[in-house]
Amino acid sequence: MAPRQLHLRLIALTVVVTLLALRDAAGDSKLYKILKKREVAGPGTTLSKSSIDVPPSKAREFLAKLSRTKRNIWDRSRPDVQQWIMQFMYMGYDEQVSRLKFIYNP
């Protein structure tokens, strides 16, 4: 009975993931709409500057979505980094000795 329930859950999960992927792929993105509008205008047609101008507020809104937070990989407050450092120390890595090696050995 348990393998049958697991099988049904896996099928349900697969269907949900497939539907989400297809729904996302079917939606027209902003870039797609811009390119489609450009195709309608024709290949030899040049667009006037006023037709492609975007207000600065709209441009900032669009660019704000693209920003990515900076990550400090060796942030010592993170538990996984503390675990890495403990593992390196267990393997014989000494941070102070390594710093001296980098400073005094060119």
> DSSP 3-state assignment of 99?
helix
| Whole-number pLDDT of residue 47 | 61
Max Cα distance, the chain (Å): 68
Is the pTM value of this prediction over 0.75?
no
Which residue stretches of the chain have pLDDT < 50? Answer: none
Alpha helices per DSSP H over the chain: 2-26, 30-41, 49-52, 56-66, 79-90, 95-104
| Whole-number pLDDT of residue 53 | 82
| Whole-number pLDDT of residue 28 | 67
| Whole-number pLDDT of residue 24 | 59
In the chain, where are the structural domains located? 1-42, 76-106
| Whole-number pLDDT of residue 25 | 58
